[in-house]
Amino acid sequence: MRSKNYIILLIALFAVVASSCKKDKDDSDSTIVYSTSTTNALVSSFNLQANTNVLANLDSVHFTVDPIRNQIYNVDSLPVGTNVSALLTKLSFKSSVGVVKYYLTYSKNGVVQRDTITYSSSSTDSLNFTGTAVLEVNSYDGTVTRRYDIHVNVHQTEPDTLSWPMTARRNLPGAADDNLAQRTVRRGDMLACLLQTANDYRLSLTSDPASSWTTTTLSLGFEPDVNSFAASDNAYYLLDTAGGLCTSADGISWTTTGVHWLRIIGGYGDRVLGITADENPLLDEYPRRESFTAVTVPADFPVSDLSQLVLSEHKWTVSPQAVMVGGTLADGTVGHKTWGYDGNTWACINSENDTLPALRGVTLVSYYTYDVSTTSYKATQQPTWLVMGGFNADGSANRTTYMSRNQGITWSKASNTLQWPDHLPSVGNAQAIIVSKTTSASHAPRRVSQPVTEWETPYIYLFGGYNAQGVLLNNVWCGVINRLAYKPTY
């Protein structure tokens, strides 16, 4: 019995000695686990050490550790031009580990370099992350090794630039050599482009403006005002040159409604909004609801050169808000106001002291911009209205883009990254339509992420418009904020 007690005492003593040896080379509080489990070589966090010579708040940049794919990367890429050739890191682990090494391959002065650097928490050896980087972690007992691919992502292009590539420019669908007028609208998933040439009228339809269009030469039976072309959820609308409102279910066969308007404003749900041709013009709708009452057009309400009527939904409204900006008033002056429609009532929604200048024929877009944290460099998407192009009150072309993040209540000049590039022509009364296109990983800007192969990217398609002399421009431009085309990360 006494010898058995001695054996138990020896076993307990051995356990105490063993527990006193549970010390990691870099973390004395870690716990050694002797096992073949791969968790013994898991990295729990990866960070860069502070270096203001490289970037402010570099140590606040968040890195994702993916133990499934064995990758470590920063979802929010560092600014363009950030130098990642000499960085220090800080690691932590799930449990005590053995030897930890970096294997780096990069080019220096045209010569391929390969470095092997052993990591310790007090290491002063800088790491070059401009090429490939592999982190090798060995478990404390040497039975398990894990290797992580490390990517310190740096933007290769300015992420918040609204790009309009020259290579993406196309002619208007159905265009001839003598195009006179054009207007493009969206109805559901279909885009419809009505084009007037010197000899005929052509309607082109597509669900993908980057692909092919189906073009039909129309026999209308009346002379249309092409620039009045509009669509509701279930019909197309046109004014004839006498102001008669015509409608069509397919854009091919048209009938008159018996209504006469001065102007079509745009579609809203299952109806179209407009201004009557009465001696005292009214704000009208077609078809009229039983509860509808037409009201007199306010003196500061635009009657021509209107922007598109653009719909959006946000947390402050119970129904979609329709917005339009600028335009020419009945007395011939050019307005600077933003008008909103909530399904029942029109109202001026921008403040009296708003800085938006008087503009006519502008292009209005409901899109996105980003706020980028100066601490973590995390980008937060913000719904944003953009006003582009058109003409100033003196007739000169407007080449300044304005933005609003509060649904048009206040406007400010947009950042330089959102301004029109020099190769985009000055144009008024162009139509902008947002089309989400499927982007594939093989065509996306380089950025490390989860294995997503396809995703939706919202592109701005800019159709036609007229120069200062009233000549139709035979252009379809495609624009996107670079960041929106980046491969999604999770």
Q: What is the tens place of the pLDDT at every residue in 451-473? A: 455 668 899 999 999 999 999 99
Q: How far apart are CA 326 and CA 393, in angstroms?
A: 10
Mean pLDDT (the chain) is 88
What does the pLDDT read at residue 319? 73
Q: How far apart are CA 364 and CA 433, in angstroms?
A: 9
Domains of the chain: 23-151 (2.60.40.2340), 162-485 (2.120.10)
Q: What is the tens place of the pLDDT at every residue in 183-205? A: 999 999 999 999 999 999 999 99
- For 129, other C-beta atoms within 10 Å of its C-beta total 22
What does the pLDDT read at residue 37? 55
Is the separation of the CB atoms in 266 and 281 below 8 Å?
no
What does the pLDDT read at residue 151? 95
- For 345, other C-beta atoms within 10 Å of its C-beta total 9
Q: Take residue 454 and report the two structure tokens written for it.
A: 């396809």
Q: How far apart are CA 326 and CA 303, in angstroms?
A: 10
Q: How far apart are CA 107 and CA 412, in angstroms?
A: 45
Dihedral sign from CA coordinates of 48, 53, 57, 62: negative
Q: For residue 287, say if its preceding peptide bond is cis, omega within 30 degrees of 0.
A: yes
Backbone φ and ψ for 320, nearest 5 degrees, come out as: -55, 140
- Across 276-288, b (16+ Cβ under 10 Å) vs e yields bbeeebbbbbbee
Q: What is the tens place of the pLDDT at every residue in 56-75? A: 999 999 999 999 999 999 98
What does the pLDDT read at residue 300? 95
Model pTM score: 0.79
Q: What is the tens place of the pLDDT at every residue in 234-263? A: 999 999 999 999 999 999 999 999 999 999
Q: What is the tens place of the pLDDT at every residue in 140-153? A: 988 999 999 999 99
Model confidence at 10, pLDDT cuts 50, 70, 90, reads very low
- DSSP letter at 310 equals E
- Across 77-100, b (16+ Cβ under 10 Å) vs e yields bbeeebebeebbbebebbbbbbeb
Backbone φ and ψ for 6, nearest 5 degrees, come out as: -60, -40
Give the mean model confidence (pLDDT) for residues 12-17. 40
* pLDDT at residue 7 is higher than 50: no
Q: What is the tens place of the pLDDT at every residue in 261-307? A: 999 999 999 999 999 998 899 999 999 999 999 999 999 999 999 99
- DSSP letter at 38 equals G
Q: What is the DSSP string of 404-464?
A: ESSTTSS-EEPPGGGSPPTTSPP-BS-EEEEEEEEEEGGGSPS---SS--EEEEEEEEEE-
Beta bridge partners of residue 145, listed in sequence order: 138
Is the separation of the CB atoms in 487 and 447 below 8 Å?
yes
Give the containing element (helix H, strand E) for 15: helix 2-20
- Would you call 179 exposed, middle or buried from its count of C-beta atoms within 10 A (0-12, 13-18, 19+)? buried
Is the separation of the CB atoms in 480 and 462 below 8 Å?
no
Q: How far apart are CA 66 and CA 449, in angstroms?
A: 10
The residue among 339, 365, 363, 335 whose CA lies nearest residue 350 is: 339
